[in-house]
Amino acid sequence: MKTADALVARKIEEVRAEYEARGFEVLVDPGQEPVPFDLDGFLPELLARKGATNRLIVVRVSGMWASMERLIGLSGEVQRHPGWHLVLVTADDVELVGAPGLDDS
């Protein structure tokens, strides 16, 4: 496994474990089916669900590897749907405790 792939895989497991510890049901590689709106072919690495709260979680090696234009467009679509949020996590993020999307109401 390439170093970048290993970093992303490790971060996915870290994020999954953190959300599960907070009572979320987490789907890895959820695909389009559990999302009730069109993501235009974009597939997040994780979907965390708890009650009416749904987090589509995108994991990248670093912020430089994320297409910000694409994510901004996608976030606009996600924001149109109550209870749905888009979260970007990078493998070079320092700490998950208090990270956006976890502690926000």
Q: What is the pLDDT of residue 6?
A: 87
pLDDT at 12 over 60: yes
Q: What is the pLDDT of residue 5?
A: 84
Cα–Cα distances (Å) from 36 to 4, 12, 31, 77, 81, in that order, read 31, 23, 11, 11, 9
Average pLDDT over residues 71-94: 87
Q: What is the mean pLDDT of the chain?
A: 85
Q: What is the mean pLDDT of residues 90-95?
A: 69
d(CA 100, CA 14): 15
Cα angle 60-91-28, degrees, rounded to a multiple of 5 = 60
Instruction: Spell out where 1-105 has E strands.
Output: 25-28, 46-50, 53-60, 84-90
